[in-house]
Amino acid sequence: MEQTYTQHSMRLTIHQIMQKNGEKVNYKRTKRKPEKDPSWKKSNKKPYNRTSNKLEIRKNNEVKTLSIDIDLLYDAEKLLQKACQQQSFPQEISDLRNGKTISTRSRLYKLSIEMHDNIMRIKTRIGRADDLTEMQKHPPILSGDHHITRLYIEHTHRQLHHAGAEATINECRQRYYITRIRTVTRDIIRRCIPCRIKRASPRLTSHGGPPLEQVGTSPTPVHLHGDRLLRAANSENRSNYE
C-alpha cells in the first residue's frame, strides 16, 4: 500500500511540474508529429475496408447449387414409400413375401394386394390402360397414421390453396391409396392455421341492460282516467254536503 501511494504521489507531482512549465503531455502514441513524439512510427498495415471484406466473404461462401435428376427424386420417393410400409405393415409384407394370405385381423384383408419392387400396391381394373402411369394403375398403399403420409396430405392441401376435405382427398387418391384418408384429412384441415382463421367468426359482445326509463313502472291511461273520476266524485260529494 505504501509503495502504490508513493508512486501515485510522484506521478501527481511530475504532472503538476510539467503543467507549470507549460509543456503539453502526449498521452497517445499515435501522434503524427515526430518532433514532439520521436518514438512514433508509421504502421505499414493496410486500412480496413468493410466493403471489400464483405465481397471477399461472399465470394468464398458462395453456395453452389446442383440440379437434381428426376431419377433421384423418383428413387427418393420409393424409399419413403418403403419406409412407410415397413413401419406400418410389417406383418403384411412378410406374409406376402412368404406367399401367405393376409391375416383376417389386418386392415388390408379386404384389399387385393400385390408386391412390385418390394412395395405393396393395389390391383385395379385399369391395369391394362396404356395412357396411365404405373402409379395410377397400381397405387401404393400408405397408412394414414404415419407421419410421412400426414406430411403428404398437408402438402397437397397447401398446393390446392387450402381446399376442402373432398378436393384434397380426390387429389391424394390420384397417386396413393391411403387408409383412413377421410378422417386424417379432416383432422389436418381442422388443425390448419389459415383454415381456422378463414372459418373463424367474431364473438358476440355482451349487451348492457336497458335504461331505467324502460324498466320503471308507470301508470296506465285507464288508471289515470279512474283517478280523475274518483277525484271529481269526491269534489261533488263535498259540495253537496256543504
Do 99 and 113 form a contact (C-beta atoms < 8 A)?
A: no
Give the pairing of strands 113-116 and 119-122: antiparallel
Cα distance between residue 151 and residue 148, in whole Å: 5
pTM for the model: 0.59
Work out the percent of the chain whose per-residue pLDDT is above 90. 39
Confidence of residue 117 (pLDDT cuts 50, 70, 90): confident
Question: What cell was used for 198?
Answer: 378463414
Q: Which residue has the cell 424409399?
A: 79
Q: What is the mean pLDDT of residues 163-181?
A: 94
Which candidate, 123, 124, 182, 176, places its Cα nearest to that of 148?
176
Work out the percent of the chain whose per-residue pLDDT is above 70. 62
Kindly report, residue by residue over 1-57, the tens digit of the pLDDT: 544 555 556 565 655 655 555 555 555 555 556 666 666 666 666 665 555 555 555
Domain positions in the chain are 70-142, 144-200
Please say whether the dihedral angle defined by the alpha carbons of residues 87, 88, 91 and 94, taken in this order, is positive or negative: negative
Looking at residue 207, what is its pLDDT? 77
Q: What is the mean pLDDT of residues 111-137?
A: 88
Question: What cell was used for 117?
Answer: 419392387
Looking at residue 2, what is its pLDDT? 47
Element (H, E) at 226: helix 221-241
Which candidate, 98, 101, 138, places its Cα nearest to that of 116?
138
